Amino acid sequence: MDHRYITLALLALVTLSSKAGSSALSHLAAARLRLAATTSDDQTAGNSSVSDQDNGLHDCREFYIHDILNGTEAGMEASAYLIARPAELFANNFGAILVMDDKITIHPDYNSTEIGRAQGTYTVVNHYGSPELLYEFAAVFNGGEKICFFGHRPIDEPSSELAAFSCGGHGKLTQGITLARFSAVYFSPSGLNEIIRVVMCKFI
């Protein structure tokens, strides 16, 4: 397969685990729940497919990332943790740094086939207002392919675009600009656990 892609990632943003302390991330969780309340069922269902003709894209491939910060709520071990925060507590969780090692599956169901892990960090980077995240993580697939993601996402926006690029392994993205579009698929009742839908397409 030709692995020159523009990447669209339809995501449900990351969560904070019980070990991270939900109170430490209460503003981040609240912002996610506000987004969930204003997002239509069609936007959050994650069932729509990307047409081969949409935006000049074709040969699309799809996978899901499960970000579990509140393991108790999810009934399983957490896969993302709060690892640092500033001594001064800010109203929007500014300065909080989280690390993730999230399961990647071929369907939204957590128990569907695992095809890799999403590994890296995200940080609350704005001082005022609704939390905004900076992502740095790699999707490491079982076959050896690695695709890295970097970029900025305001929590109160239903979708944002990040850069995506090959960072080792098989199927290198050697040509073209690659983008990742994130949008909400699922939020748990606490606002701490999410499912991320990623749709990757070749750019014509």
Residue pLDDT, tens place only, 163-174 = 888 888 776 554
Region 16-32: what's the mean pLDDT? Answer: 63
pLDDT of residue 132: 92
Tokens (6 digits) for 29: 């969780």
Confidence of residue 115 (pLDDT cuts 50, 70, 90): very high
Lowest average pLDDT, out of 13-22, 82-91, 96-105, goes to 13-22
d(CA 192, CA 201): 29
Name the more confident of 125 and 158. 125
Distant-in-sequence, close-in-space partners of 175: CB < 8 Å, separation ≥ 6: 4
Q: CA triplet 163, 150, 3: central angle to 5 degrees?
A: 45
Name the helix (H) or strand (E) containing 159.
strand 159-166
d(CA 27, CA 114): 31
Res. 14: pLDDT tops 60: no
Tokens (6 digits) for 135: 């992502």
